[in-house]
Structure 1
Amino acid sequence: MSRIKKYTAEGLGTFALVLFGCGAASIAGVSTVGPAGLGLLGISLAFGLAVVAMAYTIGPISGCHINPAISVAMCVAGKLSVKDLAGYVIAQCLGAIVGAGILYLIATGGAGFEMGPWALGSNGWGEGYLGAYTMKSAFIAELVFTFLFLMVIFGTTAKNASPQMAGLAIGVSLALIHFVVIPITGTSVNPARSLGPAIFAGGIALQQLWLFIVAPLAGGILAALVRKIFIDD
């Protein structure tokens, strides 16, 4: 498979993840007009199902990382070259930005739409953000749950695993992570997913973006380093 096809697939997959997941959070998740809002369960499932759908769509092309934390962890584990790592991360970030841009264009057409401090499903923490958790809680949650997410990915894609079930298991694990982490940070575990909405929201969402880059990357690298203890890959 050519590198261009792989990078294009990663951009498309991350675009879809942001549009489905952040769209569910910012448009359907808190809707007070028409059908009832999705709530925590619906938003969690939206992110998880988006990963399942993309895993079976672009997985055969690029592996469906759609997340820089996954790509960096795969590089540390020796499963992705440094050259491909750069291409993957750039494509993922561009896909996320385009996805957030499309979401912005759609959202601004709604009656009474306002760009709040954490608009378009942006991640954050502190006073005024969901459960008002501290930065420490936010950092620990993002690091630990990204670590667990990558352990699931390494385990379900190991040589003795069932490849047909990997996409489903990974998507379900992401939904489970959202069940717990949404009240804390809105759930990132994915620097690209956080980047796109933050660019359009600006302000405090952009100021807090660093945590959603550093913590997931640290969690992914940690998983890559300790996976050999549990997983024969």
Structure 2
Amino acid sequence: MAVKAKICGITDDVSARTAIDDSAGMLGFISFPKSPRHLDLDRMAQLIANATAYTAHVNKATKCVSVLVDPDDLLLEAITQQVRPDLIQLHGHESPERVRHIRTRFGIPLIKAISVESRSDVLSAAPYEEMVEHLLFDAKPPKDATLPGGVGARFDWTLMEGYPSARPWLLAGGLTPWNVAEAVSQSKATLVDVSSGVERAPGLKDAALISQFLKAVKEI
């Protein structure tokens, strides 16, 4: 099966271009002040504009995603008007009603992240399916964590096997170039998401690791 990858937490043009050159399906750009990968809106807008232009130049199909945590409507208005991503990823505690409001008001394709520790967490995604383009299943962070994701935690990938989703979904949480094939084998994912697994330090992407991860994905 063909597996595609999202490289999340992009903070510089070199990482973006490396991922695009190696056929990443999506790039994620984070606006969340507690994250080491946080971008203010001006910086995010510039990086996404640069990535979009480069994608067109090299004739690739990589999409740009703004990753937000429990955003209010003012932030969403700014993202849609100033940043103009292809998709918005909601990585907080947004309820199905909140997601429906965001989709109705702003009309942009959405990704909804679901924190997973048990099979019941996986099944809790069902109410979101009609409002989103993709679901994303990430490991539930430790209780003392200040971030909702991007901490290198992983969950039992077999919990995803046979998930009856009507939407394409992404597997996230603790993926690396060395375990992504096993993760796909156990979960049956066709989309994978990596952030800390291609970094040399928190928030510092490593171009060689990005290429290595995407090469591993292509070989699945």
TM range (shorter): under 0.3
TM-score, normalized by length of structure 2? 0.28
Higher Cα Rg: structure 1 or 2? 1
- Structure with the higher helix share, 1 or 2: 1
- Structure with the higher strand share, 1 or 2: 2
Which structure has more relative contact order (CA 8 Å, sep 6+)? It is 1
